[in-house]
Chains A and B, each alone.
Chain A
Amino acid sequence: MTTQTQTGPDPKTALSSRGGGPRADRSFQVLTLAAGLLVLAVLALILITTTREAWPAFDEMGLRFITENRWDPPSEIYGGLAFIYGTAIVSLIALIFAVPVSLGIALFLTELAPRRLRAPAVTVIDLLAAVPSVVFGLWGVLVVAPKLVPIYNGIHDLLGGIPVIGRVFGEPVGSGRNFMTAGLILAIMITPIITSIAREVFDTVPRGDKDAALALGATRWEMITGAVFPHSFGGLVGAVILGLGRAMGETIAIALIIGSSTQITANVFASGNAMPAVIVSQIGESTGTFTAALIGLGVVLFVMTVIINTVAQAIVRRAEIRMRGAAS
């Protein structure tokens, strides 16, 4: 053993650090962790405070708050089932129209459109997202709804007699302010967001996958179904869920268009109401338990959104495991 005359290793070859690297690494880690936790904390706080505010109504109504179809503030009865139904049906109509159109636009822009058409087309679609929702609402109620009434009447005359389907396309309400108009306007509103995400998802499909399909003699459509869709499934579910979230939460446009009546009917041409629209139109004149009930609708909406997101994530995860194999 040599005697240790040196106080430490040669500075040129020393491996211990003087702080810098690891400390910076650690503080970055803490910072990002804090940012992540902040989101969770905000979400939890929103849920806790709104639930507390809504508690008088929940306490009074119990489960009937979401299972009963009777909204009668003067009698202190707050059963919001009709509004939950309205939100669901309007969102569903919006998705039925918006998803195929959005995916079509996104496919056109990524796979078919000439390069110089892409940028202008994207700008126009993004502009659609910039239109304030109250403008959509006014346009819907003043321009679109009256024009759609004759079409609704035509569809009703054509299909109204058929069992089951006839009930869906029942007698249209005269103003045109109904589930269908609200759903259609919503569809226009959520198309930009679904298109924009779907476009980015399609862009991530590896060139190699598309080439492989084409080299087997696939047409463009076969290439899209064989190579593009399997790769994009998860991302597309995400795009649809974001669109759905926007549709479920849309307030002022729906409040103007949906017709504000408390009823549950299969007839998409009938007027109804939806949770956010009820909140915004009634909260001004509410007090006490009534206010609590309206906040309670907000809590229900929030919980529904969380549930839908969780289910969607589970679906995506399962699909991805199936497609990528156990390896990753």
Chain B
Amino acid sequence: MTTPNPKVETVTASDRPSVSINAPSTGWGAVGVDTPQAAGAPVMDLRDVSVFYGNYEAVRGTSMPIRQNQITAMIGPSGCGKSTILRSLNRMNDLVPGARVAGKVTYHGQDLYAKDVDPIQVRRRIGMVFQKPNPFPKSIFDNVAYGLRINGIKGNLHDQVEEALTGAALWDEVKDKLKQSGLSLSGGQQQRLCIARTIAVRPDVILMDEPCSALDPIATGKIEDLMHELTKSYTIVIVTHNMQQAARVSHYTAFFTAEVDEKQVRHGRLVEFSETGKLFTNPSDKRTEDYITGRFG
């Protein structure tokens, strides 16, 4: 293993790789460097966050923390807004015409939606893995190198690609065929390639939008094991349809549901946020209990 930091629960912000590299601009690079934080301190924080598409309020009033080096899962039925919230965490929603975020999302205390914040820097710090494995139609090597190249990250390209692929538990499977197309890999390998591509630029937080829903159980298992490894260096937020997966991998779980308001309009809402163990064994909200016991959804 060449995971950058072998220490597990005592990782501090100052030796996190994401802040030790030179960021291209705007002072984001200095975040948290001088204030070592214990694992579990909030990296991101949502305060009363609502997401609108035009006039439609897709998710209403969400408040929750995202804790460092922990896996935070978002679960709930379809249309409850969990993916919408996830995409508001790295400003991918910006790309949807008419999308707007109200409330406050902070990253290391900085307002993610402040005027002087560059969404490109945001996405560089807060990476994303998607539902459908989406490697570029390029070689395996170039897939991983893409992010390094566009971000002008210095250093030996080959070493960094190897490190990322090792970090994504894919190196041994692909080291002899780095020149082959990323699309020639199996679905599970493609998804790990996408994870390698994401961690190559050494983000701070990794958002995963149902990363295993297109994969078989064995490939899913590998990704879940990998997520555990990744928490040594990264903070992970995962949206999943699969409650067992949330229970297996996450430290914290947010349960969302869809509600119909007085005007008969559906909104996504955060019902309950707590430690995963508590949420699944002793939920404080009736709706959570109904969902996790299979009475609803």
Contact = CB atoms under 8 A, between A and B. Distances in A.
B138 interface: yes
A213 B198 CA distance: 10
Given A227-B136, A323-B137, A215 B198 contact: yes
A230 B181 CA distance: 12
A215 B181 CA distance: 21
B155 to A, nearest CB: 17
Interface string A286-328: 0000000000000000000000000000000000001111111
Given A211-B134, A217-B120, A325-B183, 17 more contacts: A115-B97, A208-B132, A209-B134, A209-B137, A211-B130, A212-B136, A214-B92, A214-B123, A215-B92, A216-B123, A216-B124, A217-B150, A217-B151, A226-B146, A226-B150, A230-B137, A327-B181
Interface in B237-271: none
Contact of A222 (B97, B150, B180): B150
14 contacts: A115-B97, A211-B134, A212-B194, A212-B197, A214-B92, A216-B124, A216-B147, A216-B151, A217-B147, A219-B150, A226-B150, A230-B136, A230-B138, A231-B137
B3 interface: no
A212 B181 CA distance: 16
B147 A206 contact: no
A206 B184 CA distance: 17
Nearest to A114: B97
A206 B137 CA distance: 11
Contacts of A322: 181
A267 to B, nearest CB: 42
B136 A216 contact: no
A233 to B, nearest CB: 9
A53 B35 CA distance: 87
A32 to B, nearest CB: 30
Contact of A324 (B128, B146, B150, B184): B184
A327 B121 CA distance: 36
Contacts of A216: 123-124, 127, 146-147, 150-151, 197-198, 201
B173 to A, nearest CB: 14
B90 interface: yes
Given A213-B146, A216-B198, A325 B138 contact: no
4 shortest interchain CB distances as A-B pairs: A325-B184, A325-B181, A217-B124, A208-B134
- Band of interface residues on B: 20 to 34
Contacts of A211: 92, 95, 128, 130, 134
A216 B151 CA distance: 9
Contacts of B180: 325-326
Chain A facing B: main interface SS: helix
A322 B183 CA distance: 10
Interface of A: 114-115, 206, 208-209, 211-219, 222, 226-227, 230-231, 322-328
Given A230-B137, A325-B183, A217 B121 contact: yes
A216 B180 CA distance: 22
Contacts of B137: 209, 230-231, 323-324
B181 A218 contact: no
A212 B92 CA distance: 10
B136 A226 contact: yes
Contacts of A217: 120-121, 123-124, 147, 150-151, 201
Contacts of A327: 181, 183-184
A215 B97 contact: no
Contacts of A213: 136, 146, 150
B138 A219 contact: no
B136 A209 contact: yes
A231 B184 CA distance: 15
Contacts of A218: 120, 150
A214 B123 CA distance: 7
A230 B90 CA distance: 25
A231 B128 CA distance: 21
